[in-house]
Amino acid sequence: MAVTSFAIAVVLGVTALLTTIPSAYQILLPGPVSDVQTLIQPYPKPAKGALYLTTIYSDPANIVEWAAISLYLKVRQDAGIVPREEARPRSVNEREYQRLLGHMMDESKVAAKVVALREAGYDVKITGQGAQIQEVSEASAAKGILLPGDIVVEADGRPVTTSTDLVALIQAHRPRDMISLRVRRGEETRELTFSLGESPEEPGRARAGVIVLTHLYDYQLPREVELKTKDIGGPSAGLMFALGVYNAVSENDITRGHKIAGTGTISTDGRVGAVGGVKYKVIAAQRAGAQLFLVPQDNLPEATAHAGAMRVVAVKTFTDALDALSTLQPKS
């Protein structure tokens, strides 16, 4: 008995030790959903139906968690592991990365308000002076070509005024395509070219492996709408934010009593951009009881593959999303 107890104690001790050893991987799981209508405070009219923004739970995995998820993936598909470098640049610590995600979320909120208020008939002014590079991934072909602080003002001959402009132009490419950027670095302007990589989560989707924010972002909104978010970062809730704001300021209820979920970035001209982790977001929406999932066109195959009985509609623009909702039959 004593030997058995000692063996158990050793196993538990070794397991506890292993939980303190980080792996080189990040865990991905379906995250919580939030009805955007509850995030607009105060909401100006009775909220009906739901407009769910969907999220991913992402956390560094220790050795034990990495092993457990690897085994779990042999029987289930609602979890994932990706190299840490693909989830967060190695040179950025967790606190700084969360700060950057917060800034991306703030820009996403502004773009959503601009798009929604313009669609509702308001005059909105917004300006930016390029997309500023914050970090470059070690695995990116842009490493050593782009530097933190560089301001991208043009991509493939098209002007870049905000970070969402640059993201949209990158996503118009395929992996291994070359992209040409005009960049301001200090007092100089440079022409830079490099090949795009591929998203580890979504094969076939191009990525540059950079974190960008809009340089000198400024906007004037004729009507202020507050979006109160907690513990959510990044730009992928832009589409659902825009739908929530539009529903708040427009006369009609665009949900028509339905539970609608979705994901996608939003640019100030209303374009909806592809995002990562769509599989996990679709699973989260299913669990929340959503009947319809709005997804960027480029993410449609992944969303459809994991949607089950939930209807999936691909959208390229904010207007596409409103058109899709207009076909819903009102629920009492």
Query: For residue 95, what are its two tokens?
Result: 């606190």
Domain ranges in the chain are: 2-83+100-120+223-326, 129-216
For the cut 50, the answer to whether the pLDDT of residue 56 exceeds it is yes
Prediction pTM value: 0.78
47-61, 141-155, 257-271, 313-327: the lowest-pLDDT one: 47-61
User: Distance (Å, rounded) from C-alpha 218 to C-alpha 249?
Assistant: 22
pLDDT digits (tens, 9 = 90+) for 152-188: 999 999 999 888 889 889 988 999 999 999 999 999 9
Residue type at 36?
V
Domain 129-216, CATH number (from 2.30.42.10, 3.40.50.720, 1.25.40.10, 3.40.50.620): 2.30.42.10
Q: Which CATH number is 2-83+100-120+223-326 given? A: 3.30.230.10
Q: Which residues contact 103 (CB under 8 A, 6 or more apart)?
A: 213
